[in-house]
């Protein structure tokens, strides 16, 4: 998957009301309001730092974990 595909898929998960996609506080994110790192940025940062992770598998597992029941 390309970075654009990953970003698009994460954005669609964030926009889905059936998913739990809360932003998280990060002291190293002053460019975001209230230092709240958005859901998409959190997971893009993870994938950037963990190059061996398959993005398709990561997003598939993430989707299962954040689905509201």
The whole-model pTM stands at 0.84
Higher pLDDT among residues 13 and 28, named by residue = 13
CA distance linking residue 49 with residue 3, whole number of Å: 13
Q: Nearest 5 degrees, angle CA 33-CA 37-CA 29?
A: 70
- Residue 67 has phi, psi (to 5 degrees) of -65, 130
Q: State the average pLDDT over residues 5-22.
A: 93
- Which residues sit opposite 36 in a β-bridge? 25
Q: State the average pLDDT over residues 18-33.
A: 83
Check if the beta carbon of residue 56 is closer than 8 Å to that of residue 7: no
């Amino acid at each position: 998957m390309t970075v654009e595909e990953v970003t698009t898929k994460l954005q669609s998960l964030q926009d889905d009301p059936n998913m739990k996609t809360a932003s998280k506080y990060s002291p190293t994110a002053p460019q975001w309001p209230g230092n709240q790192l958005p859901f998409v940025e959190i997971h893009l940062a993870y994938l950037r730092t963990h190059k061996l992770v398959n993005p398709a598998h990561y997003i598939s597992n993430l989707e299962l974990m954040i689905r509201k029941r």
